[in-house]
Chains A and B, each alone.
Chain A
Amino acid sequence: MHLTLWTYEGPPHVGAMRIATAMEGLHYVLHAPQGDTYADLLFTMIERRSKRPPVTYTTFQARDLGSDTAELFTTAVKEAYERFKPEALIVGASCTAELIQDDPGGLAKAINLPIPVIPLELPAYQRKENWGASETFYRLVRTLARPVETRAAGKPIRCNLLGPTALGFRHRDDVHEVTGLLAKLGVAINVVAPLGASPADLGRLGEADFNVVLYPEIANQAAQWLERTFGQPSVKTVPIGMGATRQFISEVARLAGVDPTPVLTSAAARLPWYSRSVDSTYLTGKRVFIFGDATHVMAAARVASKELGFAVVGLGTYSRELAREVREAAKAYGIEALITDDYLEVESLVNQLQPEIILGTQMERHIAKRLGIPCAVISAPIHVQDFPARYSPQMGFEGANVLFDTWVHPLMMGLEEHLLTMFRDDHEFHGEALPSHIGRAVRTPRTPEASADPPPVSLATETAVAWAAEAEKELKKIPFFVRGKARRSTERFAHDQGLSMITVDTLYDAKAHFGR
């Protein structure tokens, strides 16, 4: 048993719903009690889908237990088949139904429907949403993909795009962007799956020359099976950022046997020039904290560090399935990855590190708001704001442009930063002044109720160092966006030096010591 105040991922059957909802002509019969239908609103409200997810819930009640829950399931399957006439059916249990062990797979099979019926085993007390999505996609591919006769020579090179789902972070736009990139290389799309694919489309997966894995969390397992079974190689580079997009193009070109040079040189990305433009100098060494799913955090770290010149001070993920990869990536920045699904741990690390910008999920956006730190959202879990009306991919050259804008805009502009440093005594720059671009919610006095909450984790407890009044006053002259960091490093410095009182001199000694 573990205590959870908020969770990054839903249960695995919600992952299965993300696959079913992304597809056409597939229906999901879920053995579940009343209440589990809440998951529908994730799709209809957060993603604003105009159709209900193709899911039938059996809705069993306490009085059904031990008598006819199995019968309820069988009836639900028959009714769903009659009403929706799907091309294929997936069946499974939610957490509660898993406990009553009705065997949805066996029951559904016994009905002898004239369509493929794919049972899902998604252990709800062990696994989570992304695992559920990956497993569901894999089961579907395994069941439905047909062997192909030898591919006709002379046909255009074709690939599958694997991984985009419903409720994915910018999946819809990424598919559009990557499809365009591939077209420029002369590579046609065979099937995009699961987003928009029908069971019949999954049957044709084997006809492609290779696979592009856009979201490894979802599609790695299926791609590996396709590689083993049909000998289709996979492009594994996720084209987020300039460097990764170029690498992706070269990798695709090699598999397709085409020359990548025209596409690489014609790229209309603005990120490289904007980043080299002198006004971006102030971005140098900005301390960034990154948290989210594995794919997006690894890509974000690379872009932040190599393409914007930030310093990656923290990197973490809730994707335990890809923890090894993220740990490896973090080493490149000389840091240790945080692998957790407890947002309090994330918050506590952010508090310790005092980054200047946070790239994270909606939860990190809230942590950032509370702490008054600029933030951009880079990964699921997401909310309605993360489905913008405009075209806003993360992948490809346009995706790199989007990243530049969304990560740089929350930061203060370079000249504004200088003015703040030069005129610290301006009455509007005083110690408690709000950063104008972050909004008013920050640093308002805590309400009596909020103050009843436990104080945020602070390093101050380990250092019993006092601040002299003069030093405290001097500290207030430091702009707010680096003040927290200055306070902590000075305290650490004083602690290491064995000092019990921080004076103005200590403050500047520490500044010289850490030499930003």
Chain B
Amino acid sequence: MNERAAVSDMSPLGGCGTIEVLQERGQREVFCGLTGIVWLHRKIQDAFFLVIGSRTCAHLIQSAAGVMIFAEPRFATAIIDERDLAGLADLDAELDRIVHKLLDRRPDIRLLFLVGSCPSEVIKLDLSRAAARLSRNFAPRVRILNYSGSGIETTFTEGEDACLASLVPELPGQGRVATPSLLVVGALADVVEDQFMRIFAQLGIASVRFLPPRRATDLPAIGPQTRYLLAQPFLAETARRLEERGAQRLAAPFPLGAEGTTLWLRAAADAFSVDPRTFDRVTADGRARAGSAVARHRKGIAGTSIFFFPDSQLEIPLARFVARELGMRPLEIGTPYLHRRHLAQELEMLPGGATISEGQHVERQLDRCRSLRPDLVVCGLGLANPLEAEGLATKWSIELLFTPIQGYEQASDLAELFERPLVRRARLEV
């Protein structure tokens, strides 16, 4: 994937000589790609995610979700046991049995993902073959796909990337006479999608689809006329596969904050030859609302320093937002993986002075964090309380994924997520 040779050295960033990247290798305090199932299973309403893994995988998903099961979840784990490993049971037959049992129980399911895990990868269980075999049995009622969410290959949000990438070959073609269409790629909250949909309609961009779709039976068509906008920064493989099918990426920063949202929408507007005056008119209200709402939060936090531990790959766009719109000072911006091309615009907008680190050696990073004593630390759930106990204010990074933060109407919510820990500290007298 990345920094094989470079362990803890500084290497210049491609195309941008002013920013250095600290590459780290060691213990990572980051979830694996299976965690994406927590939001993806709610996003695609007729899809089911079957992890083929160990008890650890099952325990990870239920713990990471931090919730017990209210409605019956649309995910489960086929736990590999001793008999499977000792060769006493035929793994293919076992998997078929479980998939049959599952699909009998859930006749409403139209798309089943077989999700690979660390153990299934290590024992080289061929899930693509299993998916093809099972697809033949269940077609046309259920489509069966596979991807890997294993920790040996994917970091947290890369699970969504792998999932969406597995959907790309399934998307229908557009046909030859298609006019340009827009595809927004990356899971967004339904409310955010609806807002963007309204703005695109007002801009006169008629054909707009989202990936993933809310229903698996409603896959968007794709082809050389497709222009796609990434809504999330962690979709490297999905983007590669979309381009293999002829789709063209519209380069833009990500739709976080008033500025990011405007530039993101403008990339689409420009590609679809929307008149600049129309663009200004359509986005004026949103920009104004977002601008004034964010300004209210800015008062309390401008000038404070912030340190990002690597988590979701959203760190660079978030740092850009807090620096430019909230006036915060990023000290270190950690990211599990730095996609230089997809983040090119973001990196250009980022003010200097911050260390960008890629990968993780959590102990060394904690040392740096403690010595810098930032006003706010963005980190995972395993680190937050220990850092609070050391007197550092923290923001759980996972909340930045589980909360709608994209678009004009959410800019204020996003700002508030950074402001709240500081406000709370100021308020408490215990």
Contact = CB atoms under 8 A, between A and B. Distances in A.
Contacts of A4: 55, 58, 76-79
Contacts of A2: 78-79, 81, 98
A63 B1 CA distance: 9
Contacts of A34: 28, 30, 32, 151-152, 155
13 contacts: A1-B95, A7-B62, A34-B30, A35-B31, A36-B56, A42-B63, A50-B389, A52-B383, A56-B27, A96-B152, A126-B81, A363-B69, A383-B68
Given A1-B95, A52-B386, A41 B381 contact: yes
Interface in A61-107: 61-63, 65, 76, 79, 83, 94-96, 99-100
Contacts of A6: 58, 62, 68-69, 73
Given A45-B385, A56-B27, A96-B118, A10 B55 contact: yes
A101 to B, nearest CB: 10
Q: Which 7 A-B pairs have the closest CB atoms?
A: A35-B32, A35-B151, A40-B382, A50-B389, A96-B118, A41-B381, A95-B54
B150 to A, nearest CB: 7
A33 interface: yes
Interface string B54-98: 111011101110101111110111111110110001010011011
B95 to A, nearest CB: 7
B80 A33 contact: no
A128 B363 CA distance: 29
Interface string B126-165: 0000000000000000000000001111010000000000
Interface residues of A, number: 62
B213 interface: no
A13 B31 CA distance: 17
A37 B27 contact: yes
B45 interface: yes
Contacts, number: 202
Q: Which of B75, B118, B121, B363 has the most CB of A within 10 A?
A: B118
A44 interface: yes
A33 B121 CA distance: 12
A59 interface: yes
A123 B86 CA distance: 13
A123 B85 CA distance: 12
Interface in A31-57: 33-42, 44-45, 48-52, 56-57
Given A41-B380, A57-B28, 13 more contacts: A3-B101, A4-B76, A5-B69, A5-B73, A6-B68, A10-B55, A33-B118, A35-B150, A35-B151, A36-B56, A40-B383, A41-B63, A63-B4
Category for how many chain B residues contact A? 35 or more
Interface stretch (A256-264, A286-294, A449-457): A449-457
Given A51-B389, A59-B27, A96-B54, A44 B59 contact: no
A1 B70 CA distance: 25
A408 B381 CA distance: 35
A226 interface: no
B108 interface: yes
B29 interface: yes
A173 B35 CA distance: 34
Contacts of B29: 37, 40
A59 B60 contact: no
B428 interface: no
B27 A57 contact: yes
Nearest to B80: A1
A176 interface: no
Given A33-B32, A59-B28, A62-B121, A1 B89 contact: yes
